[in-house]
Structure 1
Amino acid sequence: MRALTTLSIVLFLTMNFSNAQTEKSGNTITVTIENITNNNGSVLLSLHTKNTFMKGAGIKNEKSKIENGTVTVTFKNVAPGTYAIMALHDENENNSMDFDDSGMPKESYGMSNNPMSYGPPQFAYAKFEMTSKDLEMDIRF
């Protein structure tokens, strides 16, 4: 009887532990960029809220090697909310955007919603709503 009780406790704890490992606390956002001009360097992607947009690192940050001019990155466990994604082709692997003497970007970049802007990126144009469903999006450089 004691062995049966011990076995029951072990099975209960094992089942609870394995369920805790597979439980997720949010959904995923899968981003694909297909028009990268070369395979040099990597692509840096960051998930931002209004408070972090254009102010530094995002709340989630990913880095991906480029294969055949394409990257696909997944942000995992993203809670519902309003976000924007910024992407940079970091050709020289210095982890930042490079600018020419006139202040224009030397490296390709893009944002969620693919807005066409002639100035600094704006959260209002790049924002999207994350609900309780997984998202897939394409970003163009």
Structure 2
Amino acid sequence: MYRFLFVLTFLLPFIAKGQSTEGKLTVKTTGYERVKGDVLILLFKGEDGFPGDHEKAFRKAKEELKGAEHYFYFDGLPQGNYAIIVVHDENENGLADTNWIGIPKESIGISNYPKIGRPEYEMAKISLEEAESKELNIVVDKVF
């Protein structure tokens, strides 16, 4: 009996790890005009804060752009709906620069989104099921 409990105690963490309910998301970004500056990515879980309130992003990252393609990896994501915004921050100021009426001056990309009008969460959202791994390609482009 003690051997059984010892073996069960030893194996339980490995069994539980194999049954993770968290998802993974790989985001490939392309379309950069110049390989210069940084890439900012904002992952929103739900529509709260999307698209403009960067402080309400569920996860965010900033990395130096080193090639025509750039990858971001998010793991440990709970099941649910997400929307993504990618900004090519060429001047490396950490912001999505806009003109006086709010139109982005730097290249941007949005999950599932056509390049027309203000981004709406319902059009940009992607669904991540329990323990799902998903790959997504986002093309960054100038709005105008």
TM-score range, shorter chain: 0.7 to 0.9
Runs of 4+, deviation exceeding 3 Å: 9-25
Query: In structure 2, what is the Cα distance between the partners aligned to 1:113 and 1:45?
Result: 15
Query: In structure 1, what is the Cα distance between the partners aligned to 2:105 and 2:15?
Result: 47
Q: Is residue 97 of structure 2 the alignment partner of residue 130 of structure 1?
A: no
Number of residue pairs matched by the alignment: 135
Q: Please name the residue that 1:99 is paired with.
A: 98
Q: Please name the residue that 1:82 is paired with.
A: 81
RMSD between superposed Cα atoms in Å:
2.5
TM-score (norm 1): 0.78
Return 5+ residue gaps in structure 2 as ranges: none
1:34 is aligned, of 26, 30, 35, to: 30
Tell me the percent identity. Answer: 26
Query: In structure 2, what is the Cα distance between the partners aligned to 1:45 and 1:63?
Result: 6
Shift of 1:67: 2.2
Cα shift readout 1:23-64 (whole Å, capped 9, x = no counterpart) = 745111101012111122111111112123123341111222
Counterpart of 2:39, as a letter, is V
Q: 1:135 to 1:91 in 2, by over 3 A?
A: same
Return 5+ residue gaps in structure 1 as ranges: none
